[in-house]
């Protein structure tokens, strides 16, 4: 899925690249948590836009390809020059990022320890190449920074395999498909994570 810029359509956010984001979407907007709204000009590195959710699912047509309860929805984008080593660093950050509240109400718990008692939350991974868009000039995004489709697919597949090896609850969309993503953003809480190449 390739999407950062969004338009409103019939009460849902429609992310360019095919994914419709129902509910509180991060789809390239600034969310609670200060998410950036696009790749930083001139900077490279794999990106994950993570959202703390009550629930989320992704569909291709009428078929649900992945769904989770409480946890993280991560929109993932590989840029030119990214490697498996970069993907590993980004995954470590996604799994370790402390976005869930502890008993004191502070954001101090990662998705691997959702409730402070060792219960893991769900992780829904969805590819979205337009997170790499260069929006510095004009009114049309440039996707030159994004990894070529074959490289993007390879790195996304690697990211998913690595996530499944490290986390017990992982669901995904389908790379390159026209996907509809529904979510309930909890907070809202949205963070832009990027690991430099």
Indicate which residues carry an active-site annotation: 128-130
Nearest to 147 by CA among 96, 72, 86: 86
β-pairing, 20-22 vs 179-196, is: parallel
Distance (Å, whole) CA 24 – CA 108: 22
Distance (Å, whole) CA 172 – CA 14: 19
Distance (Å, whole) CA 1 – CA 96: 24
Are the C-beta atoms of 101 and 150 separated by less than 8 Å? no
The count of other CB atoms within 10 Å of the CB of residue 129 is 28
Are the C-beta atoms of 162 and 88 separated by less than 8 Å? yes
Q: What letter would DSSP give residue 24?
A: S
Are the C-beta atoms of 127 and 163 separated by less than 8 Å? no
- Cis peptide bond prior to 156, omega within 30° of 0: no
Count of residues making up the chain: 197
């Amino acid at each position: 899925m390739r999407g950062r810029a969004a338009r409103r359509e019939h009460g849902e956010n429609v992310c360019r690249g095919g994914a419709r984001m129902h509910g509180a979407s991060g789809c390239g907007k600034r969310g609670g948590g200060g998410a950036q709204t696009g790749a930083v000009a001139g900077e490279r590195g794999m990106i994950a836009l993570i959202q703390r959710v009550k629930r989320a699912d992704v569909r291709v047509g009428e078929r649900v390809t992945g769904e989770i309860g409480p946890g993280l929805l991560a929109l993932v984008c590989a840029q030119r020059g990214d490697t498996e080593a970069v993907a590993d660093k980004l995954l470590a950050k996604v799994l370790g990022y402390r976005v869930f509240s502890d008993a004191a109400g502070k954001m101090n718990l990662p998705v691997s320890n959702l409730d402070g008692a060792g219960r893991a939350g769900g992780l829904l991974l969805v590819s979205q190449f337009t997170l790499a868009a260069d929006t510095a000039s004009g009114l049309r995004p440039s996707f030159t920074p994004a990894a070529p489709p074959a490289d993007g697919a390879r790195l996304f597949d690697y990211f998913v395999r690595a996530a499944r090896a490290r986390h017990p609850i992982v669901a995904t969309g389908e790379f390159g498909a026209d996907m509809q993503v529904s979510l309930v953003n909890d907070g809202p809480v949205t963070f832009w994570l990027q690991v430099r190449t």
